[in-house]
Structures are given as structure tokens and as C-alpha cells.
Structure 1
Amino acid sequence: MVTEKEIEQIGRTLVDTSQPLKARFRALFTLRNLGGDAAIEWISRGFGDDSALLKHELAYCLGQMQDERAIPVLIEVLRDASHEPMVRHEAGEALGAIGNPKVLDVLKKYSEDPVVEVAETCQLAVKRLEWLREHPAEASSGPYSSVDPAPPSEEVDVEKLRLALLDDSRPLFERYRAMFALRNVGGEAAVLALADGLRCGSALFRHEVAYVLGQMQHEASVPQLTASLEDGAESPMVRHECAEALGSIARASCLSALQAHAQDKERVVRESCEVALDIYDYENGGDFQYPDGLSKL
């Protein structure tokens, strides 16, 4: 049984700006795993931070917790135009992940936001909630434990899914469905098909492709992820996700790019490399679990 005092100590690490970012991330994911009112309150306090990366992950974790008590703070973040686009985008995605249709009106309003990443995310979240309403018994995303912004397609043919993924004329929701179907099919052919997605679509789309490749942890995607991370003309939102994916894959072939960009001129990229290097160490080390907030008390 976790005590209130223990949650408070972990929460204080999360919001303590003097702590290394990697320690704050581990505290965040500990709170996500613990759940409950107090954990949500501590996570919500973090939105006053000046790190776009941290705030992005706060919103992500609140969505993955699927606790309706997080809805008010996520709506507040989505509405606040002073937050970075990647933060507002993640708040919109989190509202879709929680799955309560009462947020549909808010999501529909911000589906027309002037920031394209926010608009596209809210459009996807609306589609997800409408799909859940029609398919309440089919919400599972397959072999992965994440709550995804779109359900996987029923198609399992890798080439058909690749064509759907790369087809810019298709609605974004359909391309996302192909993306998550490829992830669930797995294997090198699916990885390479997904990696092709790093060269097309919107920044939001490419960001999600990188996230999925990180989930799959297959070394075949390392060259494409590295190329996108090293591309200074690429959106920082995409480059940051490529860095985190390389950290999750955690092979020796990932290390030099992460080390090189730990001093990147874009703050969100260098912070992502810092966190990715910590994940790399975890994947290759002897720690029992990445969210180690309790064990450190």
C-alpha cells in the first residue's frame, strides 16, 4: 500500500526544477503507474514548468491513465494558447484517450484551431470517440498496453497497410489505423513500411510514426530514425520523438546520435536525448523498472 506521504515525495521530485530531467521523468511515470487523485494532482502541477518536453509527457501520462478526473486540467491546457503546440496537441490526444464523450464539443471546437498540430490531433480524437461509441467492445489495441489515438485496422497484409499509411489522399484517421495495424503485425517488413512514413505526411503524422517505431524497439528502424533526428530542417516535434524512440530501441547503433544531439540547439531535442540516454541505460542495465520513484524513497 502506497502512502500519501510517499506519493508526495515522488510528486515533489517531479516538480523540483533543480532535479535532473531524467529523475523527474522517472517520478512522472511512477505517478502514472500509481494513479489516483493525489497522483493526478501532482502531475497537473507540472504544467507550470517551462519545459515543453516535460509538459508533453505530463499530458501523455494523464491520457494513458484514462482517469476522468484529469479532464479539467487537460481542457485547460488545450485551451491555453501560451502552451507550446506539442503540449496542446498532447492534451487533445489525452482527452481522446480517456474516452469520455462529454469532451466532444471541446475537441470539435479545437479541430479548427489555427495551430495545425492541435487541429489534426483534435480531429483524430473526435474520430476516436465516435469510433468507440460505435464499437464499445473493440477498444483493445492488441499486444501493446498503450491507449492509441486510433484503433488498428483489421487489415493484416503489410503491403496493403504500407500503401494506406503512405497515401496522403486518405483521411488521417485511416492512415493512423494502418499505422497501428502495422505495429501490431510486427516484424521487419512492418518496421520498414512504418519507417517510410518518416518521409511523408504532416509533422504530427511523422511524430506518431516515430513513437510507434520506439514501441516496436526493432533495430531495422534505427537508420531512418537517426536520419530524422539529425535533420535540422525537420520539425523539433518529430526530432524529439525520434530521439526517444532511439532510446527505447537501446542498441549500440543508437548511442552516437543521441550523444551528439544532447547539445542540440533545440531545447526539446536535447532534453529528449537526455531522457533517451537514461532509457538506453535502463534498457541495458540492471534496474528493476524504469518508473523507480518508490524504490528511491
Structure 2
Amino acid sequence: MVNISDSAVENIGRVLNDPQRPMKERFRALFTLRNLGGETAIKCISDCFKDESVLLKHELAYCLGQMQDVKAVPILKSVLADTNQDPIVRHEAGEALGAIGDSGLQELLEKYQYDSAIEVAETCQIALQRLKWITEKNTTENNLSQSRYASIDPAPPSEEVNIDELRKTMMDENKTLFERYRAMFSLRNLGTTESINALGEGFKASSALFRHEVAFIFGQMQDERSVPFLKKTLEDTTEHEMVRHEAAEALGSIATDECTEVLTRYLHDPRPVVRESCEVALDMSEYENSPEFQYANTLLTVQG
């Protein structure tokens, strides 16, 4: 493993924390810090929560959760508690705390499971059930997900593999969101045309949080068969911005010409979260179609 000095990490942090930099450069710096990990990287990411960009702060929280370092817990707790932060940011802080999976967070998550912001409340409900599931199964983070994706998911995939049953569970609004998420992640792991079409039905769910997770999953899968669902979602200007932003980033990951065309159309969307997502997504798309070895390449650029 390459030994990276604190000063090199701090240089990357300066890129992240510079509001004069293009959003796409700041995103690359953020994901570089996530990959490097460690206390200095966490501090650099934490310092950025004072930024004005809701999208960037949402991604800060996401990355801290994926790093699974308990040193990130204090900043995530403060963001979750800060009602001046956009619900999109607070929700991601709650999900990140659930991803870290520390049983000591139960009391905090219980407090916010009835938050006035529905996105925050639903996220904390799912995170609580994830903690409970970990405890009951006496499991570890290493075997929570049998997917091919190197992500810490809000819920483990269901053991069910029948697509019709999974679809029914996913769309049953009488079931808990945790159960429905489990079905959703199982459909992701199956990766067939039928499972992708079933996931596409998830955009009809009443919960914006649920719909945003469907878009996120399609971004993970990077499968062209999901493009019609994502395109329709981004084009729907009445849709919640947290859903449209995830649809935009998913289209950037898939990176076809059709994806590029629709993303370019929404570069000037009236909602900052959406237009910034399109900017970042187009950079992701350019990366996917380039010979670049690594998206999170800021360590090379600050050294070069």
C-alpha cells in the first residue's frame, strides 16, 4: 500500500474545499479522499460541510459512511442534528451513520426516526432496522451483502430470488422500507432484464427516498437497459430533486450518447442540485468513455 503523507492529503482537501473550483474537480477530490481514508481525509471532508452546495454536502456524508470509520461519527451526528441543513444532506448523514453500523448509534437514530423531514425520518427508520438486523444475525459488515458492488448498502439483499415475489414485496407499501429495500437490492443483484424492469416500477412508489434509491441502484448497475427509466425521471420536473439528481448521476455512470444528450439538456436546470449533478455526471460520462485508469485521480493532479 502506498504511504501518502498528511500534506498530500491536505492538498487534495484544499481542492475539495475550494468553492472556486468546478464541481467536477471537487467531486474527484472527494472520492480520492474517500479512497485514501484516515483521520486527515475525514477532517478535510468534514471541513466542507460549511459549503453552500447541497449536492456536495450530500456526497460528503455518503463518502464518510462508505469509509466506515467511527472517527466520522461526530461530524455526521452534528449534520443530522442541524435542521438548518437541507433534508437531503441530513438524510445522507443518517444513512451514513447506519452504514458505519455502530450499535451505540441506536439511541440517536431512534430520536430522528420521527423527524419532521420525511426523508430524514425514513432514512433513520431503515438505519435502525439495519442495526437490529446486524445484531440479530450476529453478522459483520463483510458478509452483509453478497452483491458484486463494493458498497455498504442501507439494507442487505433479500434471500428471495423469485422476481415476481421480489417485485410484490418492493411495491407493498404496507411493508417496512427495510423489507422493501431488501427486495430492491436482491433485484439489483439478479441483474436480468426482468429484474431491471421490476426495479423500474419502483419509481411509482410514494416515497421519494425509495425512488432515489432505485436511481442510485441503476447507477451502480451501469446497465443500458435502465436508461429509459432514468431518462424519464430526470425529465420529470415535478419529481423530487433528490430523485432527479440520482437519476442524473446514474445516467453519467452508464455514459451512452443518449445519456450525454439528456444530461446536457439539464445543465441549466433551475434546481442547483439537479444542474450540479448533471455537470458531475457529464464528467463521469467522459471518464467512462476515456482511457483514464481512475476517476478519483486528484492525488495525481495535485502532485503533478
Fold conserved between structures, TM > 0.5: yes
Partner of 2:185: 180
Distance 2:146 2:61 in 1: 20
Q: Which amino acid aligns with 1:244?
A: E
Partner of 1:109: 111
Structure 1's consecutive aligned runs of 4 or more residues displaced over 2 angstroms after TM superposition are: none
Partner of 1:226: 231
- 2:13 is aligned with 1:8: no
Superposition deviation, residue 141 in structure 1: 4.1
Residue identity over aligned pairs, in percent, reads 56
Unaligned runs of 5+ in 2: none
Asked if 1 retains the 8 angstrom alpha-carbon contact of 2:28 and 2:295, the reply is yes
Q: Which amino acid aligns with 1:283?
A: E
TM-score normalized by structure 2? 0.96
Q: Which amino acid aligns with 2:181?
A: Y
TM-score normalized by structure 1? 0.98
Distance 1:10 1:125 in 2: 31
Asked if 1 retains the 8 angstrom alpha-carbon contact of 2:29 and 2:296, the reply is yes
Specify which of 282, 285, 288 is matched with residue 277 of structure 1: 282
- 2:4 is aligned with 1:18: no
Distance 1:123 1:87 in 2: 16
Q: Which amino acid aligns with 2:45?
A: I
**SS of the residue 1:16 aligns to:** coil
Asked if 2 retains the 8 angstrom alpha-carbon contact of 1:195 and 1:213, the reply is no
Partner of 1:262: 267
Specify which of 68, 82, 94 is matched with residue 80 of structure 1: 82
Distance 2:182 2:206 in 1: 14
* Cα deviation code 1:236-267 (max 9, x no counterpart): 11000000010011111211110000100000
Partner of 2:256: 251
How many residues were matched structurally? 297
Superposition deviation, residue 201 in structure 1: 2.7
**SS of the residue 1:262 aligns to:** coil
Unaligned runs of 5+ in 1: none
Asked if 2 retains the 8 angstrom alpha-carbon contact of 1:14 and 1:27, the reply is yes
- 2:165 is aligned with 1:160: yes
Superposition deviation, residue 183 in structure 1: 0.7
Superposition deviation, residue 171 in structure 1: 1.2
Q: 1:55 to 1:141 in 2, by over 3 A?
A: farther
Q: 1:73 to 1:141 in 2, by over 3 A?
A: farther
Q: Which amino acid aligns with 2:287?
A: Y
Distance 2:260 2:147 in 1: 30
Asked if 2 retains the 8 angstrom alpha-carbon contact of 1:14 and 1:46, the reply is yes
Asked if 2 retains the 8 angstrom alpha-carbon contact of 1:188 and 1:218, the reply is no
The 5 Å alignment of 1:117-128 reads 117-128=119-130
Asked if 2 retains the 8 angstrom alpha-carbon contact of 1:27 and 1:292, the reply is yes
**SS of the residue 1:128 aligns to:** helix
Distance 1:243 1:198 in 2: 14
The Cα RMSD (Å) is 0.8
Distance 1:34 1:6 in 2: 11
* Cα deviation code 1:166-192 (max 9, x no counterpart): 122211111000000111111221111
Distance 1:140 1:157 in 2: 18
